[in-house]
Every structure is written in C-alpha cells, then in structure tokens.
C-alpha cells in the first residue's frame, strides 16, 4: 500500500502542549513569538489566538513589550479556538490567564489530535495567587518554561507582578506605570508597604 508524502506527514504528527509562564515583563510573549516564527519558517501551518480584551498594543496582533509582533485572531472564548484551528500544525495562545477554564480541555483536544500547542501567560496574579487556567495548563503540559523578569528593586530574578495602583480587580490591563516585576523578598516588602 502506497502513502502519499502528505499522508505520511499527517500520521507522524505528534501533538504536545508547551507552556511559557512567569511574571509581567519576563519575556513570555517574546518567547511565544520566537517559537511561532520558527514554526512558520519551517513551513508549518500556524494560527495564533489572544483574548479580545487585550488591546494594549494592538486590537489584533500579539505584541511583546519589546515591540515584536505577529498576526493573531482575537477571541472571547476558548471554544472559539477549535473553530479556527482545523488543518493547523501549531496553535499559539497569548495571555492565557484571561481565558476561561475550558482552555485546558481545548489544549488537550488539540494536542491529542496532533497539534503543537504553545501557550503563554501569567502564572500568578498581582496578589501572588495562581491565575486562571494557567496552573491546570502547567499540570498537563509536556513542557513548562518559567521565564523571569529582573526585580526593579534589587536586580535579582523576579517572579512576581506587583501592582502599583490601587485596584482590587483581578484583571486589570497595564504596563510599567501600573505594574513592576519584583523578586519574592521585594514583593513581600512591597505588600507590607501597600497594606500599611
């Protein structure tokens, strides 16, 4: 029995889930864009998604703090990813913490169907609490890359996103005027000062 080259390539696809997590300003989106551009360079079929609420740099593109960008599809619900990802080799998802809990099942379904899924997002919110579907995504991932920012107070590796403005809502889009990356020690000190 003869197989076409396309058929052999389809049967050899191995799905996987890669999670890139860390604090704000740690390079998560930069790493996501780098991996997706490499996949495109390798002539793989790539589709990128971001939450429709994230309009900080662009309404449609995924844009890193460094200014690098890649075209994406803004969506309101994780279920929409399945509608747009047929015949795709690689799916990229940015700001995954803003999606609903269904994102975990969506990523599993894609990976089980042979798709490479690359997800980037904050692992903790400004309170230091696991954020949205990210903890569950880390649990089911084939690979987790925790990236770090540099603490703006002491220069150590930073894992926390300290919110510098008064606002108790978990979701608050912001940049360097609203958030700063801190190491554990400097974050604990900042929280004490915030609550004084």
Catalytic residue positions? 95
CA distance 60 to 58: 5
Q: Which residue, 195, 65, 191, 194, is CA-closest to 128?
A: 191
CA distance 178 to 161: 10
The sign of the CA dihedral 125, 128, 129, 134 is positive
4-10 contact pairs (CB < 8 A, 24+): 10/114
Helix (H, G, I), strand (E, B) or coil at 51: strand
CA distance 161 to 151: 10
Token look-up 């190491």 returns: 183
Tokens of 140: 């089911």
Tokens of 75: 């969506």
DSSP 28-66: HHHHHHHHHHHHHHTT--EEEEEETT--SS-SSSEE-TT
């Amino acid at each position: 029995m003869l197989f076409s080259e396309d058929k052999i390539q389809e049967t050899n696809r191995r799905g996987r889930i890669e999670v890139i997590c860390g604090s704000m300003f740690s390079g998560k989106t930069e790493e996501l864009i780098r991996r997706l551009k490499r996949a495109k360079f390798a002539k793989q079929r790539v589709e990128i998604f971001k939450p429709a609420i994230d309009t900080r740099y662009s309404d449609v593109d995924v844009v890193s703090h460094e200014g690098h960008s890649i075209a994406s599809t803004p969506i309101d619900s994780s279920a929409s990813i399945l509608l747009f990802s047929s015949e795709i080799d690689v799916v990229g998802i940015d700001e995954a913490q803003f999606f609903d809990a269904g994102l975990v099942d969506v990523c599993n379904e894609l990976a089980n169907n042979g798709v490479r899924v690359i997800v980037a997002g904050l692992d903790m919110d400004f309170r230091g609490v696991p954020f949205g579907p990210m903890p569950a995504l880390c649990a089911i991932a084939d690979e987790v890359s925790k990236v770090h920012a540099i603490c703006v107070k002491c220069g150590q590796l930073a894992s926390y996103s300290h919110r510098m403005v008064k606002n108790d809502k978990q979701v608050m889009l912001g940049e360097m005027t609203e958030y700063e990356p801190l190491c554990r020690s400097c974050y604990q000190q900042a929280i004490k000062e915030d609550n004084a």
